[in-house]
Chain A
Amino acid sequence: MTDTNEAAEARPKARSAVTTREQQWQVYKNIDLMAIPLIVLLFAGIFSFHFALTVGDWDYWVDWRDRRWWPLVTPLSLLVLPAVFGYLLWTKLRLPLAASVALLSFALAAWVSRVMNFEIFAGFPLNMVSPSTFIGLGLILDCTLMLTRSFFVTGLFGAFFFAVLIYPINWPLMAPFRVPVEYNGTLVTVADLMGYEYVRTAIPEYVRIIEQSTLRTFGEAVTPLTAVFAGFLAILMYYFWTWVGALASRAVWIKRIF
C-alpha cells in the first residue's frame, strides 16, 4: 500500500448531507425553486430578443399590425422557441409547458418593456404600444401535445391553429383601433391617426408594410387567406424547429467541451 492510499484511508469518509427521503425531496424542491424562475427569466430574455429581431416594429405599434403581414410573420416567429424547448421539456420531463411558459414569460417582458421604454422613457401613450396577446396560442400548442402525446399531431393541429387564431385572439384588443375616422377628407383608422399624430421622426409613414403582396385571389377575404397560409407554414415551422430541438437535446457539443 502506498503512502497516498494510507493518507486517504486516514481521512474521515465523506457523507451525503441527504440521508432521508424527505431531505432528498426537499433538495429536489430547492432545485425547482432555483431553476424554474431562471427558466422563466431565460425564456423572457431570449424571446424578447428573438421577437425584437424578427417581428419588431410590426408588433410595437398599433398602426403596424396590418391584416396581411402581421398575422403571417408573427406566428412564424413565435413558434420557434416553443418548438425547440417543447421538444426538450416533453422528451426529458414529459412537461407540456414550453409554449405557454415561454409566451407567459414573453408577455411579462413585453409589458415591462412597453411601459418602461415606450411609455415612460419615450413618452408614447401605452394604448399605442401595448403588446398583443399570445398566451392562449401557447396553451393550444401545449394542451394539444398533452392530449395527443405526438409532435406530428401537435404540429398538424396545434401549430396550424396557433397561426390561424392569432388574429381572432387579438381582435378584442385591436378592433377599437380599426374604427374609421375622417381626417381632412381622408379615411383613416384610429390606429393610422395615432401613428400620424404621435410623432416618430425615425418611422415615416411609408416604412409600414401595409398589405403589400399579390395574394388577392379571394377578393376582400385578406385575413382568412393569410391565416390559412400562415397555418400551413406554421406546421412546417413547428416540425423544423422541433427537429432543431431534437438536435439540441443530444447535447453532443457539451460532451465535447467537457
Chain B
Amino acid sequence: MKKYLVAFILLIQAAAIPDLAFAHGERAQQAGLRMRTVHWFDTAVSTTKLNVNDTVVVSGSFVPSVNWPEHMAGPDGTAFLNIGVPGPTFVRVDSRVNGMPMIRSTRFYKGQTYQYSITLKARTPGRYHVHPVLSVKDTGPVIGPGFWVEVGGSQADFQNTVKTMTGETIDLETYGMGNIAFWSLLWFAVGLVWFIYWLTKCPIIIPRYRRVAELGDKADDIITPTDKKVAATLLAVTLSLIGFGYFWAQDEYPITTPLQTGIVHLPEIDVSADREVDVTVADARYRIPGRSFELTLDVNNRSGKDVKLGNLTVANVRFVDPSVIDIKPADSHDLVASGGLRVEGGPIKAGESARIKVFAEDALWETYRLTSLIYDPDSRFGAMLYFYADDGARDYVEVGGSMLPVFM
C-alpha cells in the first residue's frame, strides 16, 4: 500500500511540476520551410556565460532564399529582425542589419546577404537557448541557429535606465508606475462609492424586482431624490476628474509624441568577392533507407583560386567535410554533422567548371525532422554550399530545386 502511495505522490508531482521550456521548438516547422526561407551562417554569440546587467552580442549573416516558397509571403514585404529568447529574460539594447539600427521593420530581398548583430542585456538568471529570428509578416518567425547562454546573478540587481529627450533619466523597469497605481486606485475608489451606495440599500434584488413589477409603468417612482443627487454628484465628480487628470498630465508631460512605426530601408553591402562560384543542380535525390542526400552539381569557379566544397547547410544543419574545414559544434545542440559531407570530383580548379557529386549523410536528417520534406506538396529543397580555398577564403552559393525521394 505504501509503495502505491509513494508512486501516486510521485505521479502527482510529475504532473504538477511542469518542465520549463527554454528552447523554441525549432524542429517543429515544416522541413521545406526551414530549408527554403532563410540561410543563416556565421552565427555566433560573444559569450555563453554572463551575469545580470552584462551584455551578449548575437551576430552573423543571412541570405533570404531565392527558393522561398511561392505560397508564403516573402521577406521583401515587411519583416523584422527578432531574437528568440524565453520572454524578457534579456532586454534588447541594440540590433543592427548592415549597420542600420533595427528598432523598426524593414524589407529583405531574396538572394542578398545581410550582416546583423543583436546586443542583449541579461535580465533574468537562467540557462537559455538564444536564436536569431526573422519575423516575416503573414509568414511568421523563421528561426536561426541557437546557442545556450547561461546567466548568473540576481534579477533584483537589474537596471535599465534611459535618458529621454526632455532630459530626464528614467528606469524603464518602474517608470510611470506611481502614476498608474494612483489613477487606477482613484478610479477604483470612485467606482466603489457608487457601488457601495447601492449596496447600502440591500436587500436590493428581490424587493426591487417585486416593487418594479408592482409599479409597472410607474417603476421610476422607486428612484429616490437622494439617488438622483448622488448620481448627479458622481457624474460631476467623474467629469471633473477626467478633465483634471487630462490637464494635469498635459502640464506634467508637455512634450509627447505619438507611437512611432514605419519601414527602414537598408543599405546594401558588397559581398561580390565571396560569391565567385556558380552552381547548377543537375540532380537531387534523397535516399530514405540510407538517410543520404545526393546532389549532382555543375560548378563553375570564377575565382582565381582552386576551391573545395567543405560545408553544405540545410535548415541550419551543417554537413561538414573535415578534410576541408574543421567545424566543431559549439554546444550539445549545435547542429553540426562533422564528417557528414562526402564529395566526389573535387577540387574545382581556378577558372574551370566541373561536375561533382555530393553526399550529405547523417542521422540529423531524421532527428531534425528534415526527412519530412518528402511529404511537402512541392518536393523542393534549398541549401547553401560553402567552398573553401587553401588560404581559407570562402565562397558561398545557394542551390535549390526539385528533389526526388528514393524509397528502396
Residues of A that sit less than 8 Å from B by CB: 25, 28-29, 31-32, 35-36, 63, 65-67, 91-97, 100-101, 103-104, 107, 111, 122-127, 130-131, 133, 135-136, 138-140, 142-144, 146-147, 149, 165, 168-169, 171-194, 196-202, 204-208, 210-211, 222
Contacts A125-B173, A192-B103, A211-B258 given; indicate if A198 touches B91 (C-beta within 8 A). yes
Q: A189-B257, A199-B91 are in contact. List 19 more A-B contacts (CB 8 A).
A: A32-B204, A97-B198, A107-B187, A126-B177, A136-B241, A140-B239, A143-B231, A165-B242, A169-B246, A172-B249, A173-B180, A178-B253, A181-B162, A197-B93, A197-B172, A201-B82, A206-B79, A208-B259, A211-B258
Query: Smallest CB–CB gap between B358 and chain A, Å?
Result: 35
Residues of A within 8 A of B40 (CB): none
Complex: A222 Cα to B257 Cα, angstroms: 12
Residues of A within 8 A of B101 (CB): 183-186
Residues of B that sit less than 8 Å from A by CB: 24, 78-80, 82-85, 87-94, 101, 103-105, 120, 123-124, 133, 135, 137, 141, 160, 162-166, 168, 170, 172-177, 179-180, 183-184, 187-188, 190-192, 194-195, 198-199, 202-209, 212, 219-220, 222-223, 227-228, 231-232, 234-235, 238-239, 241-243, 245-246, 248-250, 252-253, 255-261
- Please tell me if the beta carbons of B257 and A136 are within 8 angstroms of each other in the complex: no
Which residue of chain A has the shortest Cβ distance to B101 in the bound complex? Answer: A184
Complex: A101 Cα to B195 Cα, angstroms: 7
- Please tell me if the beta carbons of A135 and B172 are within 8 angstroms of each other in the complex: no
Complex: A108 Cα to B191 Cα, angstroms: 12
- Please tell me if the beta carbons of B256 and A146 are within 8 angstroms of each other in the complex: no
Contacts A29-B202, A146-B231 given; indicate if A139 touches B238 (C-beta within 8 A). yes
- Please tell me if the beta carbons of A94 and B219 are within 8 angstroms of each other in the complex: yes
Complex: A211 Cα to B262 Cα, angstroms: 11
Taking a contact as CB atoms closer than 8 A, the residue among A31, A173, A193 that contacts B183 in the complex is A173
Residues of B within 8 A of A131 (CB): 184
- Please tell me if the beta carbons of B191 and A103 are within 8 angstroms of each other in the complex: yes
Complex: A136 Cα to B82 Cα, angstroms: 39
Q: List 8 A-B contacts (CB under 8 A).
A: A36-B202, A67-B258, A124-B88, A125-B88, A143-B232, A147-B231, A171-B245, A173-B184
- Please tell me if the beta carbons of B203 and A190 are within 8 angstroms of each other in the complex: no
